[in-house]
Amino acid sequence: MVPAARSILAGFLLCLAFVARAADPVAFLSDISGEVVMNGGGRPPFLAELLPGTKLALGQDARAAVMYVVSGEEFALKGPGEFVVTRDGVKASKGAAPSSRVPGLRASAAAVVETSRAATASLRMRSAPAPRADRAGPHYPVNARIATLQPTLRWAGEAEATYSVVVTSRAGKEVFRGTTKGPSLRLPTRLVAGQAYAWTYSAGEAALGDARFETLPSDAIAAADKARVGAKSFSDRVLLAMVLQDLGATQDAREVWIQLAAERPDIPELAGLAR
């Protein structure tokens, strides 16, 4: 390749890299309530990825929260007003300037992008039936890695019935045996981090169900515990679900989405994330 052609190609590739970098989302919509319009085209989805230059118009009493992927800084927007997302923050072009804070939690960019796209995809699956809370069998934990050493085991059952619960290690050693009234039991003893377990529940002589799970390593459990303590606000708990997903505790993350979906039926994407 002649030097001139090589120079032209290098310049072209540099331009492509600049355009791609400029088109990367810098933030996401971590909360939305009321009349919110993005770029004049309608209501944006919850957890929508936001590019620099994105315009948000909020009606009277509407609210939104924009969280930046890299810095973790969150901007709280209140309507009525018009706002522009820049690389450095959200600016008000009309109305009150947004307030900002830096939450103690931080999810990875990969977790943010994955959850954002899952939330958007969930809108296309609104007709899919939601999982039944009363489905038969064990409910939690089931074939999952969990971020706690004292899980609350849950299963399908009757509130007034008495159940026997047995938890064993991978090697078959019994680590807990006891009874409880109702279809749940918080283990009174702590398990060991990074270990696999099995649990069964029965009523009288009838074996009703069993499941397996694994506790995460101790450093991951410590990170999850710290994240739970810091999850106070709605958007904090959104981040908590992402952090748990990041750690590999997918069923724990789903438990958070289920709670948020019950509290905020106005955000249909939450129901999709809770499936």
Per the structure, the complete domain to which residue 229 belongs is given by 220-273
Domain count, the chain: 3
Query: Among 164, 154, 120, which Cα is nearest to 25's?
Result: 120
Distance CA 154, CA 69 (A): 35
pLDDT the model gives residue 125: 56
Place of tokens 């977790």: 111
pLDDT the model gives residue 12: 41
Task: Kindly state the average pLDDT of the residues 196-201.
Answer: 98
Distance CA 170, CA 65 (A): 45
Q: Do residue 225 and residue 173 come from a single domain?
A: no
Across 204-255, the runs of DSSP E, i.e. the strands, are 206-215
Cβ distance 80 to 5 under 8 Å?
no
pLDDT the model gives residue 3: 46
Q: Are strands 184-186 and 36-38 parallel, antiparallel or unpaired?
A: unpaired
**Does pLDDT of 127 surpass 80?**
no
Cα angle for residues 22, 25, 31 (degrees, 5° grid): 150
Q: Has residue 126 been placed in a domain? A: no
Please tell me the pTM assigned to this model: 0.83
pLDDT the model gives residue 104: 86
Across the chain, the runs of DSSP E, i.e. the strands, are 27-33, 36-38, 49-50, 55-58, 63-68, 74-78, 81-85, 90-94, 99-101, 138-140, 144-146, 152-155, 162-169, 174-181, 184-186, 196-203, 206-215
Place of tokens 């969150």: 74
Q: Has residue 15 been placed in a domain? A: no
Q: Do residue 183 and residue 242 come from a single domain?
A: no
Buried b (16+ CB within 10 A) or exposed e, 75-109: bbbbbebbbebeeebbeeeeeeebeeeebebbbee
Q: Has residue 68 been placed in a domain? A: yes
Which of 53-67, 97-111, 124-138 has the largest mean confidence? 53-67
**Does pLDDT of 93 surpass 60?**
yes
Q: Has residue 41 been placed in a domain? A: yes
pLDDT the model gives residue 60: 97
Q: Has residue 36 been placed in a domain? A: yes
pLDDT the model gives residue 117: 87
Q: Has residue 12 been placed in a domain? A: no
Q: Do residue 95 and residue 40 come from a single domain?
A: yes
CATH number, residue 162 = 2.60.40.1220
**Does pLDDT of 133 surpass 60?**
no
pLDDT the model gives residue 134: 56
Which of 8-17, 100-109, 117-126, 255-264 has the largest mean confidence? 255-264
Q: Has residue 145 been placed in a domain? A: yes
pLDDT the model gives residue 19: 35
Distance CA 203, CA 206 (A): 5
Q: Residue 15's pLDDT band (boundaries 50, 70, 90)?
A: very low
